Structure 1
Amino acid sequence: MLLRLLGRVACWRAMRHSEFWERMDHHLGEGYARVWADTQTMADLDGRTALEALEAGVPPKQVWRAVHARLELPASER
């Protein structure tokens, strides 16, 4: 029960920019993650790229969720 509750708390905590980029590097590779983030626009980010959204102040967790959906990653990677 406690682990389930902790998992929910972790799910709602803020994501740091460094964690966002670690996840991007993990899924797309260090050499391609920033290129992808700078070129792929997403409807979930109002037609912006991940990089544009981050620079506009969109929380990294919200940007990650859009990336996650776009890349069709498994729920366990959310």
Structure 2
Amino acid sequence: MRFTVFRRMMAEEFGEVRAEMLARDHVFSALGGRTVDQALEAGIPPKEVWAAVCDAFDVPRERR
């Protein structure tokens, strides 16, 4: 998954403003206690980050 696709999916699922806020502020235990932005900067693939976000927020399978 490309970073642009990841960001688009975040915006589609949560809205642009909330997606940016979640990426910057929400700490995910599945990402080693990192935010989305920190996880991506640390080199965790966007697909893994998206899976962690989907699990944490119960995103339906058809939108994963």
Q: Which has the higher strand share?
A: 1
Let me know the Cα RMSD of the aligned residues: 0.8
TM-superposed CA distance for 1:40, in Å, is 0.6
Separation in 2, partners of 1:65, 1:56: 16
TM-score (norm 1): 0.78
SS at the partner of 1:51?
Answer: helix
* Structure 1 residues not aligned, in runs of 5+: 1-14
Q: What residue is the counterpart of 2:19 in the other structure?
A: 33
1:68 and 2:58 matched: no
What 5-or-longer segments of structure 2 have no aligned partner?
none
Q: Secondary structure at the match of 2:43?
A: coil
Q: Which runs of 4+ in 1 moved over 6 A?
A: none
Distance in 2 separating the partners of 1:44 and 1:18: 22
Residues paired across the two proteins, number = 64
Instruction: Give yes or no for the alignment of 1:16 onto 2:2.
Output: yes
**What fraction of aligned residue pairs are identical, expressed as a percent?**
41
Q: Which one has the largest radius of gyration? A: 1
| TM-score between both structures, scaled by the size of structure 2 | 0.94
